[in-house]
Amino acid sequence: MSIDIVSPQNARVKVWAQLLDRRGRDKQRKFLIEGIHLVEEAVKAQAEVLTIIYSLDKGKPAELYERTVGYIEWVGVSQAVLEKCSDTQSPQGIIAIVQMNISPADQILEMAHDLVVVVDGVQDPGNLGTIIRSADAVGASGVLLGHGTVDVYNPKTIRSTMGSLFHLPIISADLLDVLPAARAAGIQLVTTSLQATHSCYETDLSKPTWFILGNEAKGVSAEVAAEADMKVIIPMQGQAESLNVAMAATVLLFEASRQRAAFTKL
């Protein structure tokens, strides 16, 4: 059985709307996802989906409802309520409230065959979402977010992940605490530099490797860059000065994936 809410002034709606802001998400330890694809991905990944809000005008998505009725709450809402709980101009008709699942920082050090992306101060939600999506695409062990990085639960970040948010561990931590421990565990720490003399294609990325990527304008902070074992360059044949941080992450991840695939065939 589902309930209906039509007034945007409803007390529950006001609580949901707070999740559009980082302060509200941090306080409630919950976040919003919007659109049938993301909601289905969350359900398939067995994320802790608490409530599904759907448009009374469009009705429930029948297949998803049949799979989740009885253990996920369904609430039918008016267009005005959807608009209050969405950051898009045209709400898609289905929103879910999901409980945050915060992994401890030391979990990322326990993963076998480590391939991890370390994000230091990336500010654009689309860039972070694309990095997470690329990490998922190559089967990376996880993504480690340093302080100053855009909120992974920002609605724009979530949309950019296309559901990959639910497929691999995403951990927030103080990089200056975690990176030395990673090196002590035998993990290779690699960052990029336009002044580097080694190409990513001639670097052994088949062993446990963490890629450190930085802010769009400033790059990796000096303190974090000092923790890297190696700096590499992504060779470019054209006249572009550099790659977008998400594109650079994708190139590095797929090169590491290529090397590992080649190694397993030997």
**41 against 113, higher pLDDT:** 41
70: its two tokens: 């009885």
CA 201 – CA 223 distance, rounded (Å): 26
**42 against 109, higher pLDDT:** 42
pLDDT at residue 52, rounded to an integer: 97
pLDDT at residue 30, rounded to an integer: 97
Q: How many CB atoms lie within 10 A of CB 112?
A: 6
Question: Which residue segments constitute the domains of the chain, with CATH numbers given?
Answer: 3-99 (3.30.1330.30), 105-265 (3.40.1280.10)
> In the 3-class helix/strand/coil scheme, how is 82-102 assigned residue by residue?
HHHCCCCCCCCCEEEEEECCC
| Mean pLDDT over the full length of the chain | 92
> Averaged over 126-141, what is the pLDDT?
96
pLDDT at residue 263, rounded to an integer: 62
18: its two tokens: 């707070």
Q: How many CB atoms lie within 10 A of CB 151?
A: 18
Task: Read off the pTM.
Answer: 0.92
Instruction: Please write the tens of the pLDDT for every residue from 89-125.
Output: 888 899 999 999 877 777 777 765 589 999 999 999 9
